[in-house]
Amino acid sequence: MDLVLATANPHKAEEIAEILGSVAGLTLRPRPDGVAEVEETGTSLLENARLKARSLCRATGLPAVADDTGLMVDALDGAPGVFSARYAGESATYADNVAKLLTELAAAGGGGDRRARFSTVALVALPDGTEQWAEGTVAGAIAAEPRGDQGFGYDPVFVPDGAHGRTFAEMSIEEKDACSHRGRAFRALAEVLAHDLADPGAGAAARPVGRAGEQAGAGDEPLR
């Protein structure tokens, strides 16, 4: 099955390909150059992932995969949430978003409570109107300042639980994939896709644990 990637972000595409590329019978395709970005008007990660995947599916006539990610900070009442990618404005850079996050956290008196979580919803839209989706979540805390030069987005300030104080940006891509929200979501989705491709007639009732819509990550072991 050909599966078109909705993201044009090379960092995200690399992380997704690392996981979905191992699914037998699945061939990943880049988003066509002529297909425009979809405006993220949803009020949840699931809605935004669905908007992007369905739009690309309609444009190409092929199954499409999209994801949406949000960083939820306790001291900011769950912000930036669905606005994570554009927290400092529509044209904001990664550094702009990180700077605003640290400023807002300081203004909110978040010096003590820096708990946060990252969540990703990954969704495949099929031409027949059906869909598969999975969610991955990782808990952690916001660092006092950016650290590390790997990854992207909020990686330099997010310290996942079990990582011995390291931010995502201080990890190798393999280490990050093993515990990240995006890694967990796409591994759960890969399991569903692999099952469906191996036995197309099995139907939803026969899918294994970790099927579409199930949150992954709560019981994963910490990094060593």
Q: Would you say residue 112 lies in a domain?
A: yes
Instruction: Report H helices in 61-160.
Output: 94-107
Phi, psi of 71 (to 5 degrees): -105, 120
- 208 part of a folded domain: yes
Q: Which residues contact 128 (CB under 8 A, 6 or more apart)?
A: none
Q: For the domain that residue 102 is a member of, what is the CATH number?
A: 3.90.950.10
Is 224 a member of any domain? no
Does residue 129 fall inside a structural domain?
A: yes
Q: Check 67, 68, 155, 177 and give the catalytic one.
A: 68
Task: Give whole-number Cα distances, 19 to 63, 173, 191, 210, in Å.
Answer: 17, 12, 10, 15
Q: What is the pLDDT along the chain (224 residues), one digit of tens a residue?
A: 999 999 888 888 888 998 999 899 999 999 998 888 888 889 999 999 999 999 999 999 999 999 999 999 999 999 999 999 999 998 999 999 999 999 999 998 756 789 999 999 999 999 999 999 999 999 999 999 999 999 899 999 999 999 999 999 999 988 998 899 999 999 999 999 998 888 766 554 433 333 334 344 433 433 33
Residue 138 located in a structural domain? yes
Q: Give pTM, 2 decimals.
A: 0.84
Q: How many domains does the chain have?
A: 1
Active site residue 68: yes
| SS3 state at 124 | strand
| Three-class DSSP category at 79 | coil
* Model pLDDT, residue 83: 95
Q: For residue 210, what pLDDT is reported?
A: 36
Please choose, from the candidates 128, 127, 130, 135, the residue with its C-alpha nearest in 3D space to the C-alpha of residue 49: 135
Asked, for residue 222, whether it belongs to a domain, the answer is no
Domain carrying residue 173 = 2-216
219, exposed or middle or buried, with CB in 10 Å at 0-12, 13-18, 19+? exposed
CB 185 within 8 A of CB 136: yes
Instruction: Answer yes or no: is 221 within a domain.
Output: no
Query: Residue 223 domain-assigned?
Result: no
